[in-house]
Structure 1
Amino acid sequence: MSASVSFRRVPQDHDPEALVANLVTIREEIARACERSGRDPDGVRIVAAAKTVEPEAIARVRDAGVREVGENYVKELRAKRDQVDGVVWHYIGTLQSHTAHQVADLADVVETVTPGRAMERLARRANTSGRTIPVLIEVDFTRERRGSHRRGSTTRPIRWRTPTDSA
Structure 2
Amino acid sequence: MSLYENLMKVKKKIDQSTAKSGRDPDSVVLIAVTKEADMDSIRQILEFGIKNLAENYAQKLVRKSEQFTNAIWHFIGRIQTNKLKYIVPRCEYIHSVWREEELKEINKIAERFQKIQKILIEVNVSGEPTKAGVDPIKLEKLLKAASSLSAVQIVGLMTMAPYVENPQEVRWIFSKLRQLRDIYRKDFPSLEHLSMGMSNDFEVALEEGATMIRIGRAIFKGE
Partners of 1:36 and 1:155 in 2: how far apart? 30
Verify the 8 A CA contact 2:92 2:118 in the aligned structure 1: yes
Q: Does 1:88 align with 2:72?
A: yes
Q: Does 1:18 align with 2:2?
A: yes
Given candidates 149, 152, 155, the residue that maps to 1:162 is 149
TM-score, scaled to structure 2: 0.61
CA RMSD, Structure 1 to Structure 2 (Å)? 1.9
The Cα of 1:143 is off from its aligned counterpart by 4.1
Q: How does 1:73-152 map to 2 (within 5 A)?
A: 73-152=57-136
Verify the 8 A CA contact 2:124 2:131 in the aligned structure 1: no
SS at 1:93's partner residue? coil
Q: Percent identity at matched positions?
A: 22
Counting helix residues as a fraction of each chain, which structure ranks higher?
2
Verify the 8 A CA contact 1:100 1:119 in the aligned structure 2: no
Which residues of structure 1 form unaligned runs of 5+?
1-16
Q: Does 1:57 align with 2:44?
A: no
Could you tell which deviates more after superposition, 149-158 or 74-83?
A: 149-158
TM-score, scaled to structure 1: 0.80
Partner residue of 1:8? none
The Cα of 1:36 is off from its aligned counterpart by 1.7
Partner residue of 1:48? 32
Partners of 1:131 and 1:163 in 2: how far apart? 10
The Cα of 1:142 is off from its aligned counterpart by 3.8
Verify the 8 A CA contact 2:92 2:117 in the aligned structure 1: yes
The Cα of 1:21 is off from its aligned counterpart by 1.4
Q: Which amino acid aligns with 2:10?
A: I
Verify the 8 A CA contact 1:55 1:84 in the aligned structure 2: no
SS at 1:105's partner residue? coil
Verify the 8 A CA contact 1:142 1:152 in the aligned structure 2: no
Partners of 2:21 and 2:68 in 1: how far apart? 35
Partner residue of 2:213? none
Would you say how many aligned residue pairs link Structure 1 and Structure 2?
148
Specify the structure having the higher radius of gyration (Cα). 1
